[in-house]
């Protein structure tokens, strides 16, 4: 019996040669072709891109063979490309959508597929549900159309395109290149062997910013590491920044839709920190306004800033697709999530780690300060909040969370529960501005628990209380 192919928070991902096979890639591509015809967009092209993962080009070509067999013109990107570049290409080439072969920041043995609809952002749950319905039908019937690449070219249904110059031209309009040109910044950029290699370093070099790129060679094994730009996996970047006396370090994940940042002392700046920094920069230095959109798991320091600036704060469920929906409506200054994704006004409704890294460099150039100094300015003005995430391995996670949602605690440690938010999982709003969010992982037998507190002491009390919850289940 065939296993169901499901789209998670951001596409379908699976282990290569287990579930992620040529056969299953063809099935998903056929489902997207059927969906495209169903909504009447078959006369527009579909872009197909891939990152640096194992067999990425081969899987992309298999997608092309299916789409073109269904009489859909297909634009195949000529090289490994960032997901945000491919998403931008949807708008630039007036395509009906794009298919990106990537597993983002997952381990090297994974690959995946993202479907990006005509609006150039993540597919909504309504769209992915329809794709899953088509996938089930195709798995039952086995009806997958394919032609050779040679046939596709001969019929003029396949065109290999160069995407990078168009995307970079767009970034130049979003980033203040003149501010970078007049700065004395020195930057280390870590591409983590992913599809973002050369993008940030190239534009910084063009602006005359002294920089050096590390891990800027394609490697399907990602150097034996995880291509996730978080505190744990940026040791090399930290070392390089300190040893070179650089101003800051910037990083991207495997498909460059996520960002990572390190200050001049080699200290990791969390995504929550980056989001408050960029909000501060866009309002203070760019004089911009608009809604601030964050997920339910993201720092409430953004709420304080929104109130101070007189801006509307919008909270969404976890997943950039929900932020993207608000961006499509317009009037969004910045949208972001604590997992390292963000976008700004004037850009596509998709997270873009390349853009965010360039904006961080721009901010340091305009302020004439290190990223740590600017963050301290923010904290001095708005106050500091402390946050963490606990991942608890729990095979019966769904049952445990159902019980938590139906009978939530009235107290977490010394803090009383003042209100409950059930937008995504369960969020306990506590005394003194502290909060705890509990939600299941969509891909692993984990309960993810996010905490934010007004002091480190309060944060430790929250963590201690949470650990006590799991003593009886032998975690």
* pLDDT tens readout for residues 313-342: 999 999 999 999 999 998 999 999 999 999
pLDDT of 441 over the 80 cut: no
Orientation of helix 353-367 relative to helix 371-382, angle to 10°: 80
Which CATH code is given to the segment(s) 182-382? 3.40.120.10
DSSP H or E segment with residue 47: strand 46-50
User: Where does the chain hold its CATH 3.40.120.10 domain(s)?
Assistant: 12-165, 182-382
Q: Is 119 helix (H, G, I), strand (E, B) or coil?
A: coil
For residue 61, what pLDDT is reported? 98
pLDDT level of residue 403 (50, 70, 90 thresholds): confident
Sequence-ordered strand ranges (E) for 317-377: 332-337, 341-344
Closest alpha carbon to 320 in 271, 375, 281: 271
The span from the CA of 45 to the CA of 60, in Å, is 15
Cβ-based neighbour number of residue 13 at 10 Å = 21
Beta strands in 71-219 (DSSP E): 74-77, 97-101, 110-117, 158-161, 186-190, 210-214
Q: Under CATH, to which class is 12-165 assigned? A: alpha beta
Instruction: Provide the pLDDT for residue 399.
Output: 82
For domain 386-473, the CATH superfamily is Alpha-D-phosphohexomutase, C-terminal domain (3.30.310.50)
Please list the residue range(s) of the chain that carry CATH number 3.30.310.50: 386-473
The yes-or-no verdict on residue 474 having pLDDT over 60 is: no
- Residue 475 has a pLDDT of 41
Tell me: pLDDT of 451 over 90: yes
Beta strand 186-190 with 248-252 is: parallel
pLDDT at 175 over 60: yes
Residue that the structure tokens 């302020």 belong to:
367
Query: Rounded to whole angstroms, how far apart are CA atoms 80 and 60?
Result: 10
Give SS3 for 14: strand
> In the chain, what percentage of residues exceed pLDDT 70?
98
Query: What average pLDDT does the structure give for the chain?
Result: 95
Structure tokens at 376: 């301290």
């Amino acid at each position: 019996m065939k296993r169901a192919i499901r789209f998670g928070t951001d596409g379908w991902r699976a282990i290569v040669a287990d579930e992620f096979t040529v056969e299953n890639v063809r099935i998903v591509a056929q489902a997207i072709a059927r969906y495209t015809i169903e909504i009447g967009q078959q006369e527009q092209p579909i872009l197909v891109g891939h990152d640096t993962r194992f067999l990425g080009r081969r899987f992309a070509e298999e997608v092309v063979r299916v789409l073109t067999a269904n009489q859909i013109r297909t634009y195949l990107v000529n090289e490994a490309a960032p997901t945000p570049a491919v998403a931008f290409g949807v708008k630039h080439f007036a395509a009906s959508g794009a298919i990106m072969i990537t597993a983002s920041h997952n381990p090297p043995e994974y690959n995946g597929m993202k479907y990006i609809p005509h609006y150039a952002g993540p597919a909504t749950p309504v769209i992915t549900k329809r794709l899953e319905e088509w996938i089930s039908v195709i798995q039952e019937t086995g009806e997958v159309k394919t032609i050779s690449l040679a046939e596709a070219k001969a019929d003029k249904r396949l065109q290999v395109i160069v995407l990078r110059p168009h995307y970079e031209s767009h970034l130049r309009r979003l980033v203040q290149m003149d501010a970078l040109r007049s700065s004395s910044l020195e930057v280390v950029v870590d591409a983590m062997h992913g599809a973002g290699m050369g993008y940030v370093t190239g534009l910084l070099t063009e602006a005359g910013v002294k920089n050096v790129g590390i891990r800027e060679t394609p490697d399907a094994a990602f150097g034996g590491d995880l291509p996730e730009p978080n505190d744990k996996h940026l040791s090399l970047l930290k070392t390089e920044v300190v040893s070179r006396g650089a101003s800051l370090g910037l990083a991207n994940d495997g498909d460059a839709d996520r960002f990572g940042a390190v200050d001049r002392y080699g200290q990791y700046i969390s995504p929550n920190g980056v989001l408050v920094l960029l909000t501060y920069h866009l309002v203070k230095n760019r004089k911009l306004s608009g809604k601030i959109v964050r997920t339910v798991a993201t720092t409430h320091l953004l709420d304080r800033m929104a109130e101070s600036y007189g801006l509307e704060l919008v909270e969404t469920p976890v997943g950039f697709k929900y932020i993207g929906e608000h961006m499509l409506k317009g009037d969004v200054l910045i949208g972001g999530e604590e997992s390292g994704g963000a976008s700004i006004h004037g850009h596509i409704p998709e997270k873009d780690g390349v853009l965010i890294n360039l904006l961080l460099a721009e901010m340091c150039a305009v302020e004439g300060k290190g990223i740590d100094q600017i963050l301290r300015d923010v904290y001095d003005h708005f106050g500091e909040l402390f946050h963490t995430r606990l991942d608890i391995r729990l095979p019966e996670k769904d049952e445990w969370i159902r019980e938590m949602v139906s009978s939530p605690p009235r107290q977490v440690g010394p803090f009383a529960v003042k209100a409950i938010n059930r937008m995504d999982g369960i969020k306990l709003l506590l005394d003194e501005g502290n909060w705890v969010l509990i939600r299941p992982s969509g891909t692993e037998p984990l309960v993810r628990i996010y905490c934010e507190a007004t002091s480190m002491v309060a944060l430790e009390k929250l963590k201690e209380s949470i650990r006590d919850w799991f003593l009886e289940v032998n975690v």
